[in-house]
Chain A
Amino acid sequence: MNIVVLVKQVPDTWSERKLTDADHTLDRESADAVLDEINERAVEEALLLKEAHGGEVTVIAMGPGRATDAIRKALSMGADKAVHVSDDALHGSDVIATAKVLAKAIGTVEGFDLVIAGNEATDGRAGAIPAILAEILGLPQVTQLRKVTVEGTTVKGERETEEGVAHLEASLPAIVSVTEKINEPRYPSFKGIMAAKKKPVTTLTVADLGVDAGEVGLGGAWSGVIEASPKPPRSAGQRIDDEGVGGSKIAEYLVGQKLI
């Protein structure tokens, strides 16, 4: 199986995340950058499928120069090779532009059977890339999965929702997105870290992919952030002393907040 995994470098969820004052894009300098946790699971799922069916795993990342750290992490876990789309013109791209670029990058991987992505990135949290990609590439999408299996040329998956579990399937090639319930990702080994240094990473620009630079980046975005301010600090709670009517006072408060 020829599997592509989409990975993104994001600010560590443990650190404070901010937008820049200049253009309200992610302030990448203010936080430690890591391979998104959900992408570690996507890589793990690809490696499990490779171990079961043979084949090759290619990771694709779009991001600035230092995204190579996230790519190396995926390679040290066991992915075989990587494509890194890096171009200053991409700064501030929205989901549509990002999906267009990723679609082109996926196109450079000859004969891919399956594309695996996380269901959403922990920074942007749009959660739209897998679906837009499927639309652009004209492929079936099987998203938000907690379980993935491949039988012959069919991919099957389980999607858990509040209403129940949906059993989905599609013919390959297909786009799959996975949730945090899919697996527990492996740790790389030091051997994996050493091996990752020797694995091929192809770096491509927007021009290499035949994408018009005007269509991407902040200028090409269909929406913009006009203003951003940090979340106000939590205000002190309201204290209710129970003098026999505590329960009804709490109920009143919850009704006032439209919570019950």
Chain B
Amino acid sequence: MPAERLLPTTEAEDLIALVREIARDELKPRAAEAEEHERFPRDVFRLLGKSGLLALPYPEEFGGGEQPYEVYLQALEEIASAWMSVAVGTSVHVMSAYPLATFGTPEQRERWLPELLEGDLLGGYALSETHAGSDAGALSTRAVLDGDSYVVNGTKAWITHAGVADFYTLMARTSEKDISCFLAPSGSGITAAAPERKMGLTGSVTAQLVFEDARVPADRLIGAEGDGLKIALDALNSGRLGIAACAVGLAQAALDEAVAYAKQRTQFGKPIIEFQGLEFLLADMAAGVESARATYLEAARRRDRGVPFQRQASIAKLVATDMAMKVTTDAVQVLGGAGYTRDFPVERYMREAKVLQIFEGTNQIQRLVIGRALRKL
């Protein structure tokens, strides 16, 4: 059953209808096989790009959809319900465009933002390093100005779309104390290592990204030298909302599978949904999905109104991803032995849920952010 949504405008309703149609006809039917064979669906991103779905929250004048986060995130959630790797990729692409869209000069935006948003290009976000995960400020990739370009050396880790992206939003050290942000086009000097062999999201590429004397033109520095970490953390605030929405979409898909199964599976002469032990489990799953949706939408509406939303974004990411882990695990329980096999999607959903508690700020980091905010109250 599709989620019931209260949408602010007719175009938002039409947008969700479009996303559902594409999800039903193009994403859902292909997801299981592509995930099993670890195939990255580059063509699906082209279709989403052509349909304007990779650029929803950005200004219309640069080719975006000019949608509030309240609407963009619900579209993202619908994609996640059909194919999690594609939704996470969409969220990463949107986050990769964020520093240019938010901190770029008018000239930079005019020059590069339209091509990032028109849908042909795909972005990656290069912040983490093997020794700099939660402690992002410890990163050691260096960018040294040489003439009219920066020469970049170092290795980034856990990069979604490494090797398949057309551009990377890169955080690198420009001095001992300064981290700076760059919009680096893929190309010479940038290579991807072998993809990580992940537990889930196997249709999405994650790998180390190696910079060896990679030249990034100096005019691709976003913000001033030294602004990089601030920009990176700001982008992550919005990115977390994307992950929260993805988590809710995944959990909704697991709930829908579980309910459908519990209605048609009979034991002791009746559908198992009629046994209260199962029914209450499903009820708790539904309560989890809907309250997490309300939580990320509240944070999104704060963002849309221009009021601080950092604490709410961290709460939404924490609540939604912990919920998704629980709901997908319970969905496997509802399907019993069938749920433990790869003939049904719920075991995949459970594997996909786990990483949500880890990336874009572990849930421990989210608690840290929330706790710091409480101390300041």
> Is A197 within 8 A of B18, CB to CB?
no
Residues of A contacting B22 in the complex (Cβ-Cβ under 8 angstroms): 187
> Is A189 within 8 A of B14, CB to CB?
no
> Is B21 within 8 A of A197, CB to CB?
no
> Is A197 within 8 A of B11, CB to CB?
yes
B56: nearest chain-A partner, CB-CB:
A190
> Is B50 within 8 A of A72, CB to CB?
no
- Our count of residue pairs bridging A and B at CB distance below 8 angstroms stands at 36
**A194 interface hit (Cβ, 8 Å):** yes
Residues facing B in A146-195 (CB within 8 A) are 187-191, 193-194
> Is B10 within 8 A of A188, CB to CB?
no
**A144 interface hit (Cβ, 8 Å):** no
B14: nearest chain-A partner, CB-CB:
A193
Residue among B51, B60, B65 with most chain A CB within 10 A: B51
**B53 interface hit (Cβ, 8 Å):** yes
**What is the distance, in angstroms, from A142's C-beta to the closest C-beta of chain B?**
30
Mostly, the A contact residues are helix
Binary interface encoding of chain A residues 59-90 relative to chain B, with 1 for a CB under 8 A from any of its CBs, else 0: 00000000000001100100000000000000
> Is B14 within 8 A of A72, CB to CB?
yes
**How large, as a class, is the contact surface on chain B?**
10 to 19
Partner of A193, one of B18, B47, B50, B60: B18
Q: How far is the CA of A191 from the CA of B53 in the complex (A)?
A: 10
**What is the distance, in angstroms, from A13's C-beta to the closest C-beta of chain B?**
13
> Is B52 within 8 A of A191, CB to CB?
yes
**B15 interface hit (Cβ, 8 Å):** yes
> Is B51 within 8 A of A190, CB to CB?
yes
Residues of B contacting A189 in the complex (Cβ-Cβ under 8 angstroms): 50-52
Residues facing A in B1-40 (CB within 8 A) are 10-11, 14-15, 17-18, 21-22
Residues of B contacting A191 in the complex (Cβ-Cβ under 8 angstroms): 52, 65
Given A72-B14, A188-B18, A190-B56, 19 additional A-B pairs, CB 8 A: A72-B10, A187-B18, A187-B47, A187-B51, A188-B51, A189-B51, A190-B15, A190-B18, A190-B53, A191-B52, A191-B65, A193-B11, A193-B14, A193-B18, A194-B11, A194-B65, A196-B14, A197-B10, A197-B11
Residues of A within 8 A of B (CB): 72-73, 76, 187-191, 193-194, 196-197
Q: 21 A–B contact pairs at CB < 8 A?
A: A72-B14, A73-B14, A73-B17, A76-B14, A76-B18, A187-B22, A187-B47, A187-B51, A188-B14, A188-B51, A189-B50, A189-B51, A189-B52, A190-B18, A191-B52, A191-B65, A193-B15, A194-B11, A196-B14, A197-B10, A197-B11
Residues of B within 8 A of A (CB): 10-11, 14-15, 17-18, 21-22, 47, 50-53, 56, 60, 65
